[in-house]
Amino acid sequence: MIEQIASQMITECWLVGDLQYKLKPHQEVLYSNVVNSQGLKYIINCCRRFGKSFVLSLIAIEFALSHNGAHIRFAAPSQKQLTEIIQPIFGVISKDAPPDIKPVWNSKYSYYHIPKTDAYIHAAGCNEGGMENLRGHLSDLNIVDEAGSITNLEYLIKDILLPQTLTTGGRTLIASTPPKTPDHYFKTLCDEALQNDSYTKFTIDDNTSLSKELIQLYTKESGGVTSTTWKREYLCEFVVDENLVIIPEWNRSFIKEVERDDYYQFYQVYESMDIGGRDKTVILYGYYDFKRAKLVIEHESVFSGQLTTTKFISESINFIEKEFYPNKKPARFADNNNVIMLQDLSVQHNIYFEPTDKTYLRGDDIFDGSMVNETRLFIGAGKLEVNPRCKELIGNLDSGIWTANRKQFERSDVYGHYDALAALIYLIRNVDTQYNPVPTLYDIENPHDYHGLNRLNETQREAQLRKVFT
């Protein structure tokens, strides 16, 4: 009898689209926050093993059960995640569903169909080009799971999902554990959502189904409370893995506005360019301050997409040189990936860049990324100052990481392949720190190390010459 009543109650829940009985107490809080929220987007920053994918899947099914003819878009990073995680969750949720209500999976077109309401839940893994499969005429609800692992998340949200809710009044739910670096678009979404009350965060401490002993065990296994893994995966903090940071010596105290000193008139101005294809093209502008032994980066130019032409690049260079470096002849350096662009800048626009050999830029050779190591030593010695206006370079230095095998720079949704950092590496490799351009009649006190500021007097010079030739 009791079993019969329970079965009837379950059937009634499915008929009305109320499946909350399947949720654990801590999941009910997440569910409540989501369904009671307002606005076009709602952002969920959630720790591992909380059950957010279960909650999101349940919300999708409930919506389909209670909205006739609804179209729901469900995005995940990969088809593998859909197959191994999301589909099994749908199966668990639907286990006790009446046959005529149970969601039916169509493997050919990757959607669930709800017979009772004729609603559809369209699913797609996005990182293999599958996000285009989420396009449609309309959408009543969008769900993006593990958004921090989706490349080009901004395009998915702005260009594909949101336009489909324009006439339906539909909403977009975006959930994830923090990505590997804070330069991912998910971090931007979280920052925006915090400002308009459309954000929720759940850490491992919010998971009431876990014992203190189990939490302590996972704390230890993740490397302790100070580890990057614990902070990111369980406390939902946006942190960079210190073991993968390209320039760990960088810190934000190097960001400052520098007034040019009396010796600036003698200093060499430098321009360094990293040429991007599908990535950005970045040019850095600055000079080497011999008195203080500092490389000062004052300006940057960033080009992408249709703006990456020699016409736009030359116009930008000419403007900055005329405005900020009059009466200076800059020394220009660039990577050697695009000889045609360099030739066009030289022949068509009279702007010459000396190609830079970057054989040792990456860490996959016998020199183990010596160009990067050279940059690390340079910055670690406090020899770099960056103007606050150089936001692209600062972002690169803040967030730049290696891939897991440390053979290439990781790709960033925001900064590409950290092209501004590459331009800085070329510049540091080519900047002349040996020849002091300041005339000998200038008496510079407290000269720095190897920078040639200790000028020999005539007696000393004569003595050294005699030693050489004898």
Dig out the tokens for 375 from the structure.
Answer: 């940059």
pLDDT at residue 88 greater than cutoff 60: yes
**DSSP letter (8 states) at residue 411:** P
pLDDT of residue 459: 55
pLDDT of residue 69: 96
- Helices 391-399 and 419-430 sit at what angle, rounded to 10 degrees? 100
Q: Which domains does the chain have, with CATH numbers?
A: 2-211 (3.40.50.300), 252-430 (3.30.420.280)
DSSP per-residue codes, 95-106: GGS-TTTS-EEE
Q: What is the pLDDT of residues 259-282, one digit of tens each?
A: 998 889 999 999 999 998 778 999
The count of other CB atoms within 10 Å of the CB of residue 219 is: 16
Amino acid in the structure at residue 391: K
pLDDT of residue 465: 46
Average predicted confidence (pLDDT) for the chain: 88
pTM of the model: 0.74
pLDDT of residue 317: 95
d(CA 288, CA 294) in angstroms, rounded, equals 6
pLDDT tier at 380, thresholds 50, 70, 90: very high
Sign of CA dihedral 344, 345, 350, 353: negative
pLDDT tier at 462, thresholds 50, 70, 90: low
- Helices 25-35 and 52-66 sit at what angle, rounded to 10 degrees? 50
Query: In what order do the strands lie in the sheet containing 71-76?
Result: 104-106, 111-114, 119-125, 71-76, 141-144, 171-176, 41-46, 199-202
Mean per-residue pLDDT, 35-40: 91
- Residues paired with residue 123 on neighbouring β-strands, in sequence order: 74
Q: Which of 64-68, 210-214, 274-278 has the lowest mean pLDDT?
A: 274-278
- Looking up tokens 């050489």 gives 468
**3 or 141, higher pLDDT:** 141
Q: What is the pLDDT of residues 392-416, one digit of tens each?
A: 999 999 989 898 788 888 888 788 8
Dig out the tokens for 344 from the structure.
Answer: 């066009």
**C-alpha angle 166-168-169 in degrees, rounded to nearest 5:** 75
For 188, phi then psi, to 5°, come to -60, -45
- Looking up tokens 């293999």 gives 128
**DSSP letter (8 states) at residue 160:** I
10 Å CB burial of residue 69 (0-12, 13-18, 19+) is exposed
Residues 6+ apart with CB under 8 A from 416: 276, 278, 279, 280
- Looking up tokens 């995640």 gives 81
Distance from the Cα of residue 176 to its chain's centroid: 14
pLDDT of residue 1: 61
Residues for the chain: how many in total?
A: 470
Long-range Cβ contacts of 297-303 (<8 Å, 24+ apart): 297/384, 297/385, 297/386, 297/387, 297/390, 297/393, 297/424, 298/258, 298/324, 298/387, 298/390, 299/324, 299/387, 299/389, 299/390, 300/389, 300/390, 300/391, 300/392, 300/393, 300/420, 302/392, 302/420, 303/276
Q: Which of 4-18, 165-179, 201-215 has the lowest mean pLDDT?
A: 4-18
Mean per-residue pLDDT, 381-389: 96
10 Å CB burial of residue 131 (0-12, 13-18, 19+) is buried
pLDDT of residue 217: 92
pLDDT tier at 369, thresholds 50, 70, 90: low
pLDDT of residue 466: 53
Dig out the tokens for 403 from the structure.
Answer: 């891939």
Whether residue 130 contacts residue 144, with contact meaning beta carbons closer than 8 Å, is answered with: no
Percentage of the residues of the chain whose pLDDT score is greater than 70: 90
